[in-house]
Amino acid sequence: MAKRGHVQRMHMNYFTDVMQQVKWDVHQAVLDNGAVPDDWHEIARARGRRPKVRLTIRLEEDVVKFFRAMGRGYQERMNDVLRAWMHGRLAGVINGPEAEDLEVALLMQYSRPRTGEVEMAHHGVVRRDDGRLYSLNEERYLAEEELTGDAEALGVFRSCRGGEG
């Protein structure tokens, strides 16, 4: 496989972050309910197109721009992406522990992953649970003002400052 460029690597890192966030959300739903929701079993057995449900949803601007640029039918393509992820997860292609494999005490120790964490780790920096930045290379906490070396990386650090994502 060809070496990824800087921008492709950043997109891959964001993809990894989002997948970890979704995995965390799915596990959290299992923890909250004590089991996989019954509706998920029906979804796994369904064939063909299903009836649509009207839903108001707020999406990030760049996601909407990306899909709208594909032209007519962009909402169906968004649905297809969600459906592919759902079936991949249900089929076990997208890895994650099943309900009976969950170690509740272990999962409760971690907070929901934040967007930008993989890119930060690439630069040797992690955000601790208290929100402070920590340099793995220097083994010390950092102030955001110290992150002026790489403008793109600084943008990543600032974008996940508030824990959104």
Average pLDDT, the chain: 71
Half-sphere exposure of 68 (CA within 13 A, CB side): 7
| Per-residue pLDDT reduced to its tens digit, 154-165 | 555 555 544 444
pLDDT band of residue 30 (cuts 50, 70, 90) is low
Q: Rounded to whole angstroms, how far apart are CA atoms 112 and 109?
A: 10
User: Can you give the pLDDT at residue 99?
Assistant: 47
Average pLDDT over residues 98-103: 51
pLDDT band of residue 33 (cuts 50, 70, 90) is low
Would you list the domain boundaries of the chain? Answer: 1-33+100-165, 37-97
Beta bridge mates, 135: 125, 140
User: Can you give the pLDDT at residue 104?
Assistant: 53
Put simply, whether the predicted model's pTM sits higher than 0.85 gets the answer no
Instruction: Please check the confidence at residue 151 and state whether its pLDDT lies above 50.
Output: no
Cα–Cα distance list, 87 to 45, 81, 84 (Å): 10, 10, 5
Residue type, 126: V
Please, what is the angle between helix 6-33 and helix 151-159, to 10°?
10
